[in-house]
Amino acid sequence: MVEITSPLLVASVLPADFAELGSQVRMIEKAGVDRIQWDVMDGCFVPNITIGPDVIAACRDQVDMGFEAHLMVADPDPMLSRWVEAGCGIVIVHAETTRHLHRTLGRIRELGARAGVALNPATPLAAVEHVLELVDLLLVMTVNPGFGGQSYIAGMEPKITAARAEIDRRGLEIELEVDGGIGASTIGAAARAGARVFCAGSALFDGPGRMADRVLAMRTAAEREIA
């Protein structure tokens, strides 16, 4: 089993300037971020509406970095292939939105992408207990999904720790990602809890200095806890 020891930083583009997405993703790549997360929201599963696959496809050739689609949508199954065709190497569905999660995760892999599953704060780890063999990325939400700029829910740390323990106990190669309120002041606690992949939006886009400086500060804070 290859365990991720160095933290991966993922940029949520929700806070990006949507009028300049091409230059924004180039800036993110230049700043040293490892992957981009596209927050897909349908106004049904979450009270916000964002982008579709065509927007992701339009940005695909602007950068070389990986794309993950975070599907905060009530019914992800009908459009699974569209996110892969748009250039996403990882497709993340919410455990709360699929009637047949085992089948959906297998379908994502059949499409040639890595399969991710996200858990809302109220959803127990047990929701994915019987499908972890089909999971390449487990996303533990540290906010209630729908908007950026919310506060990190530290109460999710026991779930992160339990997920880390279960992944390690089974010897699975699953990326354990956290998303929501992640920044220089919270990334250390999430890393201590067992997360190794950190998705941030406002902490990367907002604040003094350059994005590259904020990337370095977050990476350093996470590495300090992982070492």
Q: Applying CB under 6 A, which of residues 150, 192, 212, 216 lies at the interface with ligand DX5? A: 150
Judged by beta carbon, residue 79 or residue 172, the one nearer ligand DX5 is 79
DSSP-assigned beta bridge partners for residue 194: none
> Does residue 148 bind ligand DX5 (CB under 6 A)?
yes
Q: Which stretch binds ligand DX5 (CB under 6 A): 22-30, 57-65, 141-149, 207-215?
A: 141-149
Q: Applying CB under 6 A, which of residues 35, 70, 107, 164 lies at the interface with ligand DX5? A: 70
In whole angstroms, give the CA distance from residue 66 to residue 56.
Answer: 12
Residue 141 near residue 119 (C-beta atoms within 8 A)? yes
Q: Which stretch binds ligand DX5 (CB under 6 A): 55-63, 166-174, 178-186, 215-223?
A: 178-186
Q: Applying CB under 6 A, which of residues 62, 81, 123, 202 lies at the interface with ligand DX5? A: 202
Q: Applying CB under 6 A, which of residues 203, 215, 218, 222 lies at the interface with ligand DX5? A: 203
The count of chain residues that interact with ligand DX5, using the rule CB under 6 A, is: 21
Strands 90-94 and 66-72: parallel
Residue 27 near residue 218 (C-beta atoms within 8 A)? no
Separation in Å, CA 113 to CA 13, 83, 134, 166, 174: 20, 9, 12, 23, 14
Judged by beta carbon, residue 161 or residue 202, the one nearer ligand DX5 is 202
Active-site residues: which are they? 39, 179
Query: How many degrees, rounded to 5, is the angle at CA 4 between CA 24 and CA 26?
Result: 10
Which residues in 71-110 contact ligand DX5 (CB under 6 A)?
none
Q: Applying CB under 6 A, which of residues 53, 87, 180, 194 lies at the interface with ligand DX5? A: 180
Query: How many degrees, rounded to 5, is the angle at CA 59 between CA 4 and CA 42?
Result: 85
Q: At residue 25, what are phi and psi to the nearest 5 degrees?
A: -70, -30
> Does residue 53 bind ligand DX5 (CB under 6 A)?
no
Q: For residue 161, count CB atoms less than 10 angstroms from its CB and return exposed for 0-12, middle for 13-18, buried for 19 or more.
A: middle
> Does residue 11 bind ligand DX5 (CB under 6 A)?
no
Binding residues (CB under 6 A) for ligand DX5: these are 12, 14, 37, 39, 70, 143, 145-150, 179-182, 199-203
